[in-house]
């Protein structure tokens, strides 16, 4: 899909060539070549104000036979020296959306215009590989007649004077985006088409594709292991629960392993603590944590890092029938701790309690759980930032660093002793699953922490970030793929 070349020429044939224009007025070699080929008309168009150097502004014009590439697309860069990784990812997204709208199949990019003292051509190529793939993602619909483009981007050429391995960098960036897009597809899928059994089927596809070891625990297995918290949640549904385990061994010796645990509630009606009808259709996205973990495994399968990873996904529906979990019930988790149910809509922490305990039993040295866990985190942080809880500052730092490179913001929430005491407010059980609205995202995360013991652990609450109501430069409305790229970056950087 990607190729690298030194210099654009009149004979070179593409559908579109992208050149960047910065406010300092200097043309990179690619833009200068284009300017020469069209007899200085690039300069003339700039003088007339027909081309913009404002960051993100796109303009196009024809070469009218003066080059075999018929269309030049200019992209404003603003102050080039101030460009950041997030800027480049977004600019790449704008190009991707434009290429998709214009049904471009063969795209060329003059890459050196985007580099500065802090961003190398290799880093730029990675971000373009990532941003182009993210921005051209299509949401699957089920309409009888669909207006999907009949053409898509098939080849991308980077023109650069750099000797860096740009094709390899772009391919790596695309691998990260592919995982995030897979997450998006899973989260966007209607709940009747993605049951816990279907989710296990998706894991099986990954195992077959990349040689992962797969284990799927059935409800009988859960009973044998004492997973009373997970079984309590699934009791209200006719769909059987699944505990999905994918194992990737990247080193000869099993050590220094990371456990990725994702909440897989494929539909959440709230149980007897029923959710309001308005917006309930979006509760198909309550398996966003599971989607992020499977998306990360998709990327890991492509990148093949020298790291050991176990993905654990507890999957169930939170529904209502005559056997459903009730407020006031007491259930016993795998570790033996008892839990009083105060709210059946606080079900994610229940299934994750058994899942993180099982991950520890499998021999992981580090844990990250990802979950669309609480509405409280949306109140606290909005739709832009993922809330985090940890029991280990060093591990939290590594997760945060991975998120910063991925461009997915994380904010660590406090975990002081008074919050932990709120969990012990049941008179009949060890833990209360819903001690109140105050500090709700904190206590929910700390509830899961009760089952990780001393294993370094980070909890990521993506209830706000897993879904967006409006399209952005890097994706359409709907599922965002949140945390898939962060988890991948964490694994790749782990040693």
Closest Cα to residue 442, out of 422, 457, 426? 422
**Full-model pTM:** 0.97
**C-alpha span between 390 and 255 (Å, rounded):** 22
- From edge to edge, which strands make up the β-sheet containing 106-110? 2-5, 155-159, 106-110, 16-22, 71-78, 58-62
Residues 6+ apart with CB under 8 A from 171: 1, 2, 129
Domains of the chain: which residue ranges? 2-162, 178-493
**Domain covering 2-162 assigned CATH 3.30.420.40 in the classification:** no
- How far apart, in Å, are the Cα atoms of 93 and each of 193, 305, 360, 475? 30, 27, 39, 8
pLDDT of 209: 98
Residues 6+ apart with CB under 8 A from 206: 212, 246, 294, 297, 298, 301
Residues 6+ apart with CB under 8 A from 220: none
489 is catalytic: no
User: Number of helices (H) and strands (E), helices first, in the chain?
Assistant: 15, 20
Dihedral sign from CA coordinates of 334, 197, 488, 254: positive
pLDDT of 117: 93
- Percent of the chain exceeding pLDDT 90 equals 89
pLDDT of 146: 65
Dihedral sign from CA coordinates of 331, 334, 337, 342: negative
178-493 folds as Aminopeptidase (3.40.630)
**C-alpha span between 164 and 157 (Å, rounded):** 14
Map tokens 């089927």 to a residue: 201
**C-alpha span between 169 and 239 (Å, rounded):** 43
In terms of phi and psi (left: phi > 0; alpha: psi -120 to 50; beta: otherwise), the region of 456 is beta
Dihedral sign from CA coordinates of 124, 126, 127, 133: positive
Residues 6+ apart with CB under 8 A from 267: 191, 283, 284, 286, 317, 318, 319
275 is catalytic: yes
pLDDT band at 132 (very low <50, low <70, confident <90, very high): very high
**456 vs 39, more confident:** 456
pLDDT of 46: 85
pLDDT of 30: 83
Catalytic residue among 10, 23, 59, 275: 275
pLDDT band at 404 (very low <50, low <70, confident <90, very high): very high
pLDDT band at 149 (very low <50, low <70, confident <90, very high): low
> For the chain, what is the mean pLDDT?
96
Is residue 145's pLDDT more than 80?
no
Q: In the beta sheet, which residues pair with residue 468?
A: 478
pLDDT band at 422 (very low <50, low <70, confident <90, very high): very high
pLDDT band at 81 (very low <50, low <70, confident <90, very high): very high
What digits encode the pLDDT tens for the residues 152-211? 899 999 999 987 899 999 999 999 999 999 999 999 999 999 999 999 999 999 999 999
pLDDT band at 147 (very low <50, low <70, confident <90, very high): low
What average pLDDT does range 424-434 have in this prediction? 97
Dihedral of CA atoms 10, 12, 13, 18 in degrees, nearest 10, equals -80
**C-alpha span between 410 and 489 (Å, rounded):** 14
pLDDT of 144: 82
pLDDT of 85: 97
DSSP assignment letter at 255 = -
Dihedral of CA atoms 300, 301, 303, 304 in degrees, nearest 10, equals 100
pLDDT band at 101 (very low <50, low <70, confident <90, very high): very high
What digits encode the pLDDT tens for the residues 309-336? 999 999 999 999 999 999 999 999 999 9
Q: Residue 264 is encoded by which pair of tokens?
A: 């897989």
Give φ, ψ of 436 to 5 degrees. Answer: 135, 170
pLDDT of 47: 85
The CA-CA-CA angle for residues 251, 305, 367, to 5°, reads 80
Binding-site residue set: 263, 268, 286, 345, 347
Q: Is 82 helix (H, G, I), strand (E, B) or coil?
A: helix
What average pLDDT does range 54-62 have in this prediction? 95
DSSP assignment letter at 472 = B
pLDDT of 327: 98
Catalytic residue among 349, 360, 398, 489: 349
pLDDT of 234: 98
pLDDT of 386: 98
**32 vs 357, more confident:** 357
- Asked if 176 and 128 touch (Cβ cutoff 8 Å), the reply is no
**411 vs 46, more confident:** 411
What average pLDDT does range 55-80 have in this prediction? 93
Binding-site residue set for Mn(2+): 263, 268, 286, 345, 347
Q: In the beta sheet, which residues pair with residue 242?
A: 315
Is residue 148's pLDDT more than 80?
no
**C-alpha span between 240 and 33 (Å, rounded):** 63
In terms of phi and psi (left: phi > 0; alpha: psi -120 to 50; beta: otherwise), the region of 64 is left
Burial class (CB in 10 A: 0-12, 13-18, 19+), 392: middle
Q: In the beta sheet, which residues pair with residue 457?
A: 367
- Percent of the chain exceeding pLDDT 70 equals 99
- Asked if 350 and 232 touch (Cβ cutoff 8 Å), the reply is yes
What average pLDDT does range 126-148 have in this prediction? 90
What average pLDDT does range 456-478 have in this prediction? 97
What average pLDDT does range 452-479 have in this prediction? 97
**C-alpha span between 403 and 484 (Å, rounded):** 10
pLDDT of 467: 97
Is residue 460's pLDDT more than 90?
yes
Is residue 27's pLDDT more than 90?
no
pLDDT of 353: 98
Map tokens 């997973």 to a residue: 227
pLDDT of 251: 97
Q: How many CB atoms lie within 10 A of CB 115?
A: 22
- Asked if 349 and 448 touch (Cβ cutoff 8 Å), the reply is yes
| H or E, element range at 332 | strand 330-332
């Amino acid at each position: 899909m990607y190729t690298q070349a030194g210099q654009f020429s009149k004979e070179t044939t593409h559908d579109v060539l992208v050149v960047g224009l910065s406010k300092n007025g200097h043309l990179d070699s690619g833009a200068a070549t284009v300017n020469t080929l069209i007899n200085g008309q690039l300069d003339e168009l700039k003088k007339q104000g027909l081309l913009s150097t404002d960051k993100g502004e796109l303009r196009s014009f024809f070469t009218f036979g003066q080059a075999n590439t018929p269309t030049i697309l200019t992209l404003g860069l603003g102050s080039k020296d101030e460009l950041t990784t997030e800027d480049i990812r977004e600019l790449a997204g704008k190009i991707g959306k434009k290429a998709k709208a214009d049904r471009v199949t063969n795209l060329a990019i003059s890459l050196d215009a985007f580099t500065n003292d802090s961003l190398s051509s290799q880093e730029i190529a990675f971000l373009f590989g990532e941003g182009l793939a993210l921005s051209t993602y299509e949401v699957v619909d089920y309409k009888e007649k669909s207006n999907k483009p009949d053409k898509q981007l098939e080849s991308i050429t980077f023109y650069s004077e750099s000797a860096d391995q740009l094709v390899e960098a772009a391919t790596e960036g695309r691998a990260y985006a592919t995982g995030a897009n897979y997450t998006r597809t899973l989260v966007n899928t209607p709940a009747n088409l993605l049951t816990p059994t279907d989710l296990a089927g998706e894991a099986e596809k990954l195992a077959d594709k990349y040689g992962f070891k797969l284990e799927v625990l059935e409800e009988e297995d859960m009973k044998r292991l004492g997973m009373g918290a997970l079984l309590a949640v699934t009791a209200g549904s006719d769909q059987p629960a699944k505990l999905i385990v994918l194992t990737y061994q990247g080193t000869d010796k099993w050590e220094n392993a990371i456990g990725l645990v994702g909440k897989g509630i494929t539909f959440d009606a709230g149980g007897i603590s029923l959710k309001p009808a308005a917006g309930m259709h979006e509760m198909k996205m309550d398996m966003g944590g599971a989607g992020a973990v499977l998306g990360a495994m998709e990327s890991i399968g492509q990148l093949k890092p020298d790291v050991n990873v176990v993905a654990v996904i507890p999957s169930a529906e939170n529904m209502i029938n005559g056997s459903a979990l009730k407020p006031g019930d007491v259930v016993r988790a795998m570790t033996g701790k008892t839990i009083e149910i105060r709210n059946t809509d606080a079900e994610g922490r229940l299934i994750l309690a058994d899942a993180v305990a099982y991950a520890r039993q499998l021999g992981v040295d580090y844990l990250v759980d990802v979950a669309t866990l609480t509405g409280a985190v949306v109140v606290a942080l909005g739709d832009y930032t993922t809330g985090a809880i940890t029991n280990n500052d060093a591990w939290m730092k590594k997760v945060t660093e991975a998120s910063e490179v991925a461009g997915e913001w994380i904010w660590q929430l406090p975990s002081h002793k008074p919050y932990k005491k709120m969990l012990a407010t049941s008179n009949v059980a060890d833990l209360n699953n819903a001690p109140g609205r105050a500090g709700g995202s904190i206590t929910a995360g700390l509830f899961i922490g009760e089952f990780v013991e001393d294993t370094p652990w980070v909890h990521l609450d993506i209830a706000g970030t897993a879904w967006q109501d409006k399209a952005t430069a890097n994706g359409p409305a709907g599922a965002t793929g949140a945390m898939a790229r962060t988890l991948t970056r964490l694994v790749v950087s782990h040693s």
